[in-house]
Structure 1
Amino acid sequence: MSVYSGNRANGMTTSRRPRAGAPAVFPVPRQRLAIVGPDVDHPAVLTTKRLADKLGWPHLVVTDRSKLVWAITVNKPALVAVVGDADNTAHLDDIGALRNSYKGPIAVLGALSPQLTVSALVNGADSVLRSDLRDDELGARLLALVRRTAEGSESGARYLTAEGLRVDLWRKEVTLDRTPLHLSSTEYRLLVCLMESAGQTVPWNRILHRVWGWADADVNMLRIYITRLRKALGETAASSKFIKSVRGHGYMFAQPVIEAADRESDTVDGELPMMQRLAAKCTELATATDITGAASRIAESLVTEGTVDAVGLHLTDGEILRLVGHFGFTTEWEQVARELALADDRYASIQSVRRAQPVQLLRRRSHTFPGTNAAVSSDAPGTYLFVPISHAGETIGTMGVVRRSDEPFGPLTISYLQAVAALCGACLGPQWDSGRSSRAGRP
């Protein structure tokens, strides 16, 4: 299955470089606006696309109902706008299934009857808006929906964990070393804002927009709440483990943050469910009949379980690193990544094989490996991780995964992916050995 193709045949189109437009009523999120409709040329779809361009809001259009839930789950948009009217109600029937897999805001755009309006809201839509509203009003209403859910995770996670600190984004509960912290709503939003950008300096103005919105707040107010939050976390400015001041700029959450979905709620950091996933992968690999089948099953399972958004597995073949299985990437990416020369150090995947160590490639540092940068230019931006695959003490390939957000892979997820790569090595290695022997015997 190909994704992000940008053509109509796949029922999905994307916009990656929107025009700079007039400033929005509320800050435009980094995550895209997903427009769901019957056809890319539907008048309401075109109107919503023009509005997104005017706001400078990147967007994607999904028209294929069979791929709707998958597309929204993988892309993690800031908001889903479902286009519908009395003559086009098919996508309205999908709101219930969409709500079960997507926790962000859902807006329905169109002139609906009272019965359809009630049905959409009952099935999970957050708002029903007329698509003939003036651009500034429609844009303000859509962004207001995003703003009201801004205290939740932009990546769709339920839990944020770091050094004994755990935030439940759905219940809005915080614990430290399993002891509940009684934070005010403002302190809670401030903590989430910083944790979602862990390791990065968050400027004062961004924090003020995110936490207070249009309320009358300034840097002095922010300092007061930072002090309160630090006190709740048992630290001070002089001895701070979690929240660091960046003089003249803003604040930083200093500890690595791990995001966990609801399926990992059985334990604090999700170790048990990950072990269960590994057990399932043993079965998947054992039932595969060849390398391509096994690699494809592993790639698809990592995406469908929600760990990553796309996977590509390469194995060495002489002086070539050859693609043997993938899921979630574009057809264009597949063409570029099909064969890579092991002597070409412009690729992060090659470095992973050479070093026999994971290589993480953050979007803001993608210039480090120009070959990889060129290969992923046909795909969505994000954070890439390349994990070596070993067999009998030899590195025989690499597993490349992508998370379509700015968040780096945390230590727990990296350890899990290393374990999956080890399983791949154990199961694919003998077949790889056999293939190498047959290739060596060729005339």
Structure 2
Amino acid sequence: MTSPAYGRPARIMTRREAALLSPTVLCSEPDRPALAPVAALQGQREWAVGAFEDVQRAAHQASVRETRLVLIAGANPGWLLRATKSLRAACASPIAVVAGPLDHDQVLALLGAGANLLIDRHCGPREVLARLTALCRGARRDETLRIRWLQAGELRVDLGARRCVLGEDAVQLSQNEFDLLVYLMRRSQQTVPPHEIVHGVWRWKHGDGLNTLRIHIGRLRRKLGDTPSGSRWIASVRGVGYQFLPPVAEFGDDRSEERLRETVATLNAQNDALYSIVDNLLAMPDVTALADAVVRWAVDRNFCDAATVFRLGRDGRGADISTLVASAGMSSRWTQSLAAGHPVEPGFMGAHAYRSGKVVQLSDVSRLAGRFPVTARMSSAEDLHACVLFPLFVGGRVWGDLAFVSRTVRAFDPARTAFLRAVAGMVSLALAALYGSGGDGGAEDD
């Protein structure tokens, strides 16, 4: 289905539908042509979908990354059953199967293996889309309530009852104050820009809302016992944003065996990935090889859609410049545009990480063109949105940064962010070891 005027796939999916379905893991039967309705939907640019023919790779993707929908497409009933069992064991996301005509026993077997929806392959793409969006709408409430409590020390927030307790005392919060606290706690120890907070809490599309944010931050601090002379819970990072200071633990109210198996599977996958990158980093002879290894590992292991390592240095005039060391998942045109490095200026997101030494996380870089025009332009050209950027340290100074980027417009969830933070810490240690051993790849010292 193409547009005769432009030769591009006709628009089938709205942005709202794409956001509801994204990110999707698509597992297609190997060595078979793509089913027509699935192929038509795959052509929709707004839909963030990772496509795999290898069932184990698809299961790994669903286990280590946030997944809104798992879509299985094929014709062989035996393959469909094996794929459904493997993907159901890997995650609790809704599973839809698009397949040829199935008999009664085959339908029951797939439903028993964990499929939530079966769709006939001869349905048109619009009908398939309608069925998938209906499935994901029904799953949204369960997803949002998967985490029931947030806890940081003696501060405990009940998301289901919308209650906040500090020590043994209830903290009376307005609806906006509660939403603001939850938003910051879910991004604990990350400096979040004011514009991103305003959009995430109030969903404002017009006006900056900064005065409203300052008022609510002040009220929230007073109710939590923070004082102008010392912040225990919420800190201001001058010129950058706000940060919830203590680490936050998340607790779910679903303690079923299925959820336990899912959690164990995720931890095992992350553990295997961690061992793999540690072994690789120890064997790297220089900085370039190390950077290339970590970005390729992140993309190949499906922790992100693209990754980059930049190094902070100085140009011939003594001005700060950020130079691309390695990237994965980016186009050759994008990498060529950075061949000469990039000035460290306010519109460049890495500048804030270099200046503050803090993690920078954004849910959609393209919406912050006013604040980070350079980064927004660079990311939009690659259809990349969510980003988490970690400063890398050598000898107590910021050496550069490691960034992970996703095509979805939702921020990296806290669990994955914490995991990637550990990876960034190991990269910093590996860099320090290389410089200590003289294995700097011939780079000049800062």
Q: TM-score range by the shorter chain?
A: 0.5 to 0.7
SS in 1 for 2:140: coil
After superposition, what is the alpha-carbon deviation per residue over 1:187-223, rounded to whole angstroms, capped at 9, x for unaligned?
xxxx99x9689753467xxxxxxxxxxxxxxxxxxxx
- My pick for the range that moved more, 303-312 or 283-292, is 303-312
Deviation at 1:60, TM superposition (A): 3.5
- The whole-number CA distance in structure 1 between the counterparts of 2:9 and 2:393 is 37
**2:386 counterpart residue number:** 383
Q: Is 2:107 aligned against 1:104? A: no
**1:395 counterpart residue number:** 398
Q: Is 2:81 aligned against 1:78? A: no
After superposition, what is the alpha-carbon deviation per residue over 1:126-185, rounded to whole angstroms, capped at 9, x for unaligned?
12222334666544433232122112337x9867636544679xxx99997699xxxxxx
Alpha-carbon distance change, 39 to 159 in structure 1, aligned in 2, over 3 angstroms:
farther
Match of 1:128 among 118, 136, 140: 118
**1:11 counterpart residue number:** none
Deviation at 1:106, TM superposition (A): 0.9
SS in 2 for 1:424: helix
SS in 2 for 1:388: strand
Deviation at 1:264, TM superposition (A): 11
Q: Is 2:371 aligned against 1:368? A: yes
Alpha-carbon distance change, 370 to 58 in structure 1, aligned in 2, over 3 angstroms:
same
1:252-263 mapped onto 2 (5 Å cutoff): none
**2:103 counterpart residue number:** 113
- The whole-number CA distance in structure 1 between the counterparts of 2:80 and 2:289 is 34
1:17-56 mapped onto 2 (5 Å cutoff): 18-19=11-12, 29=20, 31-32=22-23, 34-38=25-29, 42=33, 45-50=35-40
Q: Is 2:312 aligned against 1:311? A: no
After superposition, what is the alpha-carbon deviation per residue over 1:312-364, rounded to whole angstroms, capped at 9, x for unaligned?
2223466364444555x344486257646252524322443355443334413
- My pick for the range that moved more, 112-121 or 430-439, is 430-439
Alpha-carbon distance change, 131 to 178 in structure 1, aligned in 2, over 3 angstroms:
farther
**2:343 counterpart residue number:** 343
Match of 1:65 among 42, 48, 54: 54
Deviation at 1:436, TM superposition (A): 6.3
After superposition, what is the alpha-carbon deviation per residue over 1:402-435, rounded to whole angstroms, capped at 9, x for unaligned?
3554444688977776665444333213534736
- The whole-number CA distance in structure 1 between the counterparts of 2:127 and 2:335 is 43
SS in 2 for 1:150: helix
Unaligned stretches of 5+ residues in structure 2:
1-7, 168-177, 187-196, 204-222, 226-242, 252-258, 316-320
Alpha-carbon distance change, 196 to 317 in structure 1, aligned in 2, over 3 angstroms:
closer
Would the aligned equivalents of 2:40 and 2:125 in 1 still touch at CA under 8 Å?
no
After superposition, what is the alpha-carbon deviation per residue over 1:41-66, rounded to whole angstroms, capped at 9, x for unaligned?
947x3224546889x97364725326
- The whole-number CA distance in structure 1 between the counterparts of 2:162 and 2:10 is 37
Q: Is 2:148 aligned against 1:151? A: no
Deviation at 1:381, TM superposition (A): 3.4
Identity %: 17
The code of the aligned residue for 1:148 comes to G
1:271-286 mapped onto 2 (5 Å cutoff): 285-286=281-282
**2:207 counterpart residue number:** none
Superposition TM-score, scaled by structure 1 size: 0.57
Alpha-carbon distance change, 304 to 153 in structure 1, aligned in 2, over 3 angstroms:
farther
Would the aligned equivalents of 1:386 and 1:398 in 2 still touch at CA under 8 Å?
yes
Alpha-carbon distance change, 82 to 277 in structure 1, aligned in 2, over 3 angstroms:
closer
Would the aligned equivalents of 2:357 and 2:398 in 1 still touch at CA under 8 Å?
yes
**1:358 counterpart residue number:** 359
After superposition, what is the alpha-carbon deviation per residue over 1:100-128, rounded to whole angstroms, capped at 9, x for unaligned?
22321111122123343333223321122
1:167-316 mapped onto 2 (5 Å cutoff): 199=197, 200-201=200-201, 285-296=281-292, 298-299=294-295, 310-316=306-312
After superposition, what is the alpha-carbon deviation per residue over 1:259-309, rounded to whole angstroms, capped at 9, x for unaligned?
78979979xxx9xxx999999976664454443454455446667888766
Alpha-carbon distance change, 353 to 93 in structure 1, aligned in 2, over 3 angstroms:
same
Would the aligned equivalents of 2:307 and 2:403 in 1 still touch at CA under 8 Å?
yes
Would the aligned equivalents of 2:98 and 2:118 in 1 still touch at CA under 8 Å?
yes
- The whole-number CA distance in structure 2 between the counterparts of 1:23 and 1:404 is 15
